[in-house]
Structure 1
Amino acid sequence: MPTATPLAPRLVQGGIVTLDPDTSVVQSVIALQYNPDSLSRTLQIQSTPGTQDGARVDALRLRGPAVETIKLDAEFDATDQLEYPQQYPLATQYGLHPQLAQLEMLINPSVETLLADDAMANAGTLEIIPLEQPLTLFVWSRSRVLPVRLTEFTVTEEAFDVALNPIRAKVSLSMRVLNIDDLGFAHPGGRLFMSYLTLKEQFASQAAMPALTVLGLGGLPS
């Protein structure tokens, strides 16, 4: 099994963190086994719509932050671990079940929560409302710590051991970044989004601005 040499740079892994939305206490940390080779981001502009009666509107006005969607494919492989059963007994017994289940619990309420809510509902002491999940953060370096809601989750299991445990799999994730319109300024996720947007502004201010001549202009038309 290959090991990193002392001279090799430390690889930062992407992953997902969940927080208690009330206390901001970290509940779980999930590191992707392999960083995806690509990550796609789509930003939907929140512009002010025009009116059907032809009334004049401010075309430069924004209603709020752009709605950002992130998609990636994460690969998981237990093949190397199976060569060392003493060192990785869980991989030998269960394959990738623990890693996949950890991700799937991001979109499922716990059994304890379901049973507790059912008991309270049967006792007439609870109004049925959607179950609140922990605050989910997508972490892709120190520059991107984003509050997200998973919108699509697909698992493709590609290989199995003799007990039909998955030992190689690909997980496709789609996430919508939650901004202040979703969470508000006081919410922990809202504050994290504002930090993300502030960092964007700082990066933008550091980008070099070429002269108009680069664009073939001596000045702007009057």
Structure 2
Amino acid sequence: MSAAPISPRLRKGALIGVDLFNPLASVVAFQYNPDTMTRKLEARGVNADGERGEAFRLAGPPRETITLALDIDATDQLADGNALALASGITPTLAALEMMLYPKSALVIANSILSAVGTVEILPAEGPMILFVWGPTRVLPVRLGSLSIVEEAYDANLNPTRAKVDLTLNVLSYNDLQFLSAGNALFMVHQIAKEVLATANFFNNASDLGAVIRP
């Protein structure tokens, strides 16, 4: 009897908050990859009231919004006696996601002190740079636009043990980021890879081109 074929190891999607001061606080590898993901792209055109003949000019890459839902479940870890799951359920995973929306407390305290001593101009505290990782060809800088959490089960200490999380991610492009930033470079790599794939699509469908243009 032949052996069963070996399935390839499935890559995990992830959200990674890049923070030099606390690099482990906002790293969330998806427990289960979502079955669906919605991507909405809106053209970034020039001013609609501009000169005639400018209709095809673009002010930059499209605005892209990604929405997806994550399932987070500690059932298996609880059954295996995982110490962290027994103590906290899925609270650490939820906290890592939520921290992507928070400025660092140390910066908030520092800004409060500066304000108290009369500093005229105080810059808002920055959150971490967030990367959405979905396979080797999609590593995108994003802003977490919204986060909706539905907690569905609890342990004896009222720690959530199962939840569904809806995420809205706004992709950040070179229109949004500093020229020499890592996020800017990652987006440019993403766009170049997309251009290469689009060219490959032409050659893949070249045999059908004649049928399209033939009278």
- Give the shorter-chain TM-score range: 0.7 to 0.9
Alignment of 1:18 onto 2:12: no
Let me know the Cα RMSD of the aligned residues: 2.3
**2: CA distance between counterparts of 1:6 and 1:56?**
61
1:133-189 deviation line (CA, Å, top 9, x unaligned): 121110001100000011111111011112211100011110111011111432211
- How many residue pairs were aligned? 207
Per-residue deviation, 1:45: 0.6
Tell me which of 86, 97, 107 is aligned to 1:113: 107
1:40-74 deviation line (CA, Å, top 9, x unaligned): 1010011234328xx52322221111111111001
Q: What TM-score, normalized by structure 2, do the two folds share?
A: 0.87
Question: How is 1:25-174 mapped onto 2 (pairs within 5 angstroms)?
Answer: 27-28=23-24, 29-51=27-49, 55-85=51-81, 88-125=82-119, 127-174=121-168
Alignment of 1:205 onto 2:204: no
**2: CA distance between counterparts of 1:84 and 1:183?**
44
Contact 1:50 1:57 in 2 (8 A): no
Contact 1:18 1:26 in 2 (8 A): no
Q: What TM-score, normalized by structure 1, do the two folds share?
A: 0.85
**2: CA distance between counterparts of 1:31 and 1:188?**
21
**2: CA distance between counterparts of 1:33 and 1:129?**
36
Per-residue deviation, 1:124: 2.9
Of all paired residues, the percent bearing the same amino acid is 41
Tell me which of 211, 214, 218 is aligned to 2:211: 214
Per-residue deviation, 1:8: 4.0
State the one-letter code of the partner of 2:44: Q
- In the alignment, structure 2 segments of 5+ residues that lack a partner are none
**1: CA distance between counterparts of 2:9 and 2:205?**
33
